Structure 1
Amino acid sequence: MEEKLAFVEGAEQPLAMHPKKFALWLFIVSVVMVFAAMTSAYIVRQAEGDWLEFDLPNVFWYTSVIIVLSSCSMHWAYVSAKRNLLDRLKLAIGVTTVLGVAFLVGQWYSWVALVDRDVYFVGNPAGSFLYVFTGLHAIHLISGVIFLIIVLISSLRNRIHSRNMAQMEMCVTYWHFLGGLWLYLFMFLLLNH
């Protein structure tokens, strides 16, 4: 009997995760699956022929730099929150939000550049895929900017600090995911264009 009690007392607690963080990770996994399916479809469709060759807009390089800088400023915000440097947190979240909006403006200009090159959503699958990739990413980035604004408001109300990090951690995770997703898409397009 004593052996059984010793075994029960040594039982480990199950791993626990904040329910909202778990939901965020499920959402991220679903987005990864969607983009993996779309990039696979791109490769399959490209192999069928009838594929318009055109150069990617140069704006993509600029937006890639912007998204990397925004990830750096987001990390700065996270470190500032963990250290209770609330003024730096507010500044860093503000900078990240501005960079997120700048990325979206850059994406708009990439579409303008595509139209200037006579690449449209309808007409050739190469152009269609490019618009779908960038448009779907932009929709997710808009949700990321909204999340940043919510976190910015929370930080302005001093609700984010070292003892209350859940919202900040979720925003950091999502923002870094969006940045990584863009870099994946851009590299994919460069290598498969």
Structure 2
Amino acid sequence: MENVRQYKLEREPQETLAMDPKKFILWLFLVTIIMLFASQSSAYLVRRAEGNWLEFEMPQIFWYSTVVLIMSSVAMQWAYFSAKKDQFQQLKIAISITFVLGLIFLYMQFQGWKELVAMNVYFVGNPSGSFFYVFTGLHGFHIITGLIVLVFALFSAFKLNVHSKNLRRIQISATYWHFLDILWLYLFVFLLTFN
């Protein structure tokens, strides 16, 4: 009897904690981005405390670009809900709106940089300006990668490969896009508070 119980214990498959490999890679990537911006935030605060810090008002266009990015997050969530309900036309429209709003955000960020230059705040010069350009530039780079992810999701939507039984691509896209929006809100508040 003991041998039978031992044999049963050895033969029964062990339950494993499984995660989709692509989602796991995404979460590792997000943690890496968090660490990057945490280290930059820390360096910002340390350098600011040393003095010789130029204080300047953030151009108004960064406020507007923040609203645009929030709207893009709403559109991305609409895309996700549409995929869950197999509403393919709405899915395509929502992803397209998210993409266009992402492009508008990038354009507005560039216009904000032009306004900073007009205010004599440059990338090279006082560290406060340098940090501002680095923060917004790094985030802009990640928005570009988010737009690339959206393009793949849009192609999949047009091929009808995104639907209620296959949500992985839209889940990855939505998670990354919402993360980028939250990251921008953090940076925006951080730069407003500590500039």
- Place the TM-score, normalised by the shorter chain, in its bin: over 0.9
Alignment correspondent of 2:175: 173
Q: So what's the TM-score if we normalise by structure 2?
A: 0.94
- Whole-Å Cα distance in 2 between the matches of residues 76 and 172 of structure 1? 10
- Whole-Å Cα distance in 1 between the matches of residues 13 and 155 of structure 2? 42
Alignment correspondent of 1:189: 191
Alignment correspondent of 1:29: 31
Max Rg structure: 2
Overall identity of the aligned pairs, in %: 50
Alignment correspondent of 1:156: 158
Alignment of 1:60-71 (within 5 A): 60-71=62-73
Give the letter aligned to residue 164 of structure 2: S
- Whole-Å Cα distance in 2 between the matches of residues 47 and 92 of structure 1? 44
Q: Which runs of 4+ in 1 moved over 4 A?
A: 2-12
- Whole-Å Cα distance in 1 between the matches of residues 187 and 151 of structure 2? 25
Alignment correspondent of 2:87: 85
Quote how far apart the aligned CAs of 1:157 are. Answer: 1.3
Give the letter aligned to residue 134 of structure 1: T
The SS at the match of 1:24 is: helix
Quote how far apart the aligned CAs of 1:64 are. Answer: 0.7
The number of residue pairs the alignment matches comes to 193
Alignment correspondent of 2:111: 109
Q: So what's the TM-score if we normalise by structure 1?
A: 0.95
Q: Which moved more, 1:4-13 or 1:27-36?
A: 4-13
**CA RMSD, aligned part only?**
1.5
